[in-house]
Amino acid sequence: MNDLISVAHAKGQWVYHIEWCPKYRFNVFRKESHKADMECILQSIAIEYGMKVLELAVMSDHVHIVVQVPPSMSLAKASNLLKGRSSYEFFRLHPNIRLRYPRNHLWSKGKFYRTVGDIDLQKTRWYVRNQVDIHQRTMHDYLKGTHTL
């Protein structure tokens, strides 16, 4: 529970692992300079829109990013911003890449995503299943004076 964000009357984490690849799975980022430029572009986009990049790996033919997004931002919005703006900025830096992508679509339509948190699904399911026991035990201990709320 280290990186919980508090806003208004809510507290939580909005962290996603997102992966996507260039159209036709070309090895666009084979060159170290292209890879470094894309990493820099994605970092700057994240900062501009209030996202926090926790992990980033630009591979020769795909990108992995673990990103914490603001509570008001949906996964779709975050993904669209990262993919759309990075494509635009990359083409601006490397206009010759447009020869491979004449329709100006650097990224394929698809993506992989998964939510990420401090605890896994199994622990969360156990916690929800055992809520009655946890609260009864806590109240019982409180009434006995062995536990404070």
Instruction: Indicate the SS3 state at residue 48.
Output: helix
For the chain (149 residues), the mean pLDDT of every run of 10, in chain order, is 73 90 94 97 98 94 94 94 97 93 91 84 74 57 53
Which pLDDT value is given to residue 141? 55
Which pLDDT value is given to residue 108? 95
Under DSSP, the state recorded for 98 is G
Which pLDDT value is given to residue 145? 58
| CA geometry: angle 93, 95, 97, nearest 5 deg | 105
Which pLDDT value is given to residue 130? 74
All residues at 6 or more sequence positions from 99 whose CB lies less than 8 Å from its CB, including other chains: none
| CA geometry: angle 78, 114, 85, nearest 5 deg | 25
**Integer angstrom CA distances of residue 106 from 81, 83, 94, 101:** 14, 9, 12, 6
Which pLDDT value is given to residue 1? 43
Which pLDDT value is given to residue 9? 81
